[in-house]
Structure 1
Amino acid sequence: MRSIGNTYEEQACTALQREGLTVLDRNYHTRYGELDLVMLDRDIVVFVEVRFRGSQHGGSAAESITASKRKKLILAARYWLAAHPRHARLSCRFDVVSYDGPAEVSWLRAAFDAE
């Protein structure tokens, strides 16, 4: 299952780079979980969660990001910012790149807030 995730993370990273974002970090691990991609969109640090769902059982890929998962991503982002003070004063946002099956992709900018 991890190799499937890696494949979609790579696709998302490539697509976002084509849109002008720059990679700052990949697969950043904390005790709260992992940040799939950390990117820079001009002067905004973007924490990107990549989700894949092969079928619609249990909802879409984007719907799989529960309140609990959002909380963990926010905590992990805080750890990343603390470890990278050069970027800590920049604005941040949380994006989701979701794949519902291999062909249906969506990029949700500012998918949720840290508040």
Structure 2
Amino acid sequence: MGHNIALGAQGEELAARYLQAAGMEIVCRNWRCRYGELDLIVRDAGVTVFVEVKTRSGLGFGIPAEAVTHDKRRRIRRLALLWLTEQDGPWQRIRFDVVSVLLSRTGEPVIEHLEGVF
């Protein structure tokens, strides 16, 4: 289990750097409540974006983004609503993205940013 936690943390760090390099502002990382966790919350040109990061070290179980199931999407939407109710600012526009990180032992990570996927 420790390997998966470290892999996930590495993927989230790479995803955060990737999004920042694309001009997005990290608002919050690993927001938790009793119902679960939101990986990244970013601002992209006035839009609040809830980003689910999925990291894999190979394709044996499919591409990382395939792990964002219907149940996972529903849970993220519910968590986003809880996060929004705790905030003071006007959060009028929101979006749900997935960042897929594929790490290999031999090459550079492959990062794919899927915008507005659910």
Query: Common fold, TM-score beyond 0.5?
Result: yes
Give the paired residue count.
111
**Aligned 8 A contact 2:23 2:44 in 1:** yes
Q: In 2, Cα distance between the equivalents of 1:14 and 1:81?
A: 24
Percent identity over paired residues: 36
Could you tell me which runs of 5 or more consecutive residues in structure 2 were left unpaired when the two chains were aligned: none
Contact 1:26 1:35 in 2 (8 A): yes
- 1:24 pairs with 16, 22, 27, which one? 27
Matching residue of 1:76: 79
Contact 2:55–2:103 (CA<8 Å) still a contact in 1?
yes
**Is it true that 1:96 corresponds to 2:104 in the alignment?**
no
Q: Give the structure with the larger strand fraction.
A: 1
- Counterpart among 10, 17, 22 of residue 7 in structure 1: 10
SS at match of 1:57: coil
Q: Shift of residue 2 of structure 1?
A: 1.4
Q: Secondary structure of the equivalent of 2:115? A: strand
Contact preservation (8 Å) 1:37, 1:47: yes
Matches of 1:77 and 1:53, distance apart in 2: 24
- Taking the aligned partners of 1:87 and 1:14, their CA distance within structure 2 comes to 26
Asked if 2 retains the 8 angstrom alpha-carbon contact of 1:81 and 1:87, the reply is: no
Instruction: State whether residues 55 and 101 of structure 1, in contact with CA within 8 Å, keep that contact through their aligned partners in structure 2.
Output: yes
Q: RMSD in angstroms over aligned alpha carbons?
A: 1.3
What is the deviation of 1:67? 0.3
Larger radius of gyration: 2
Question: Does residue 38 of the first structure (1) align with residue 44 of the second (2)?
Answer: no
The yes-or-no answer on 1:109 pairing with 2:115 is yes
* Residue range with higher mean Cα deviation, 12-21 or 98-107: 98-107
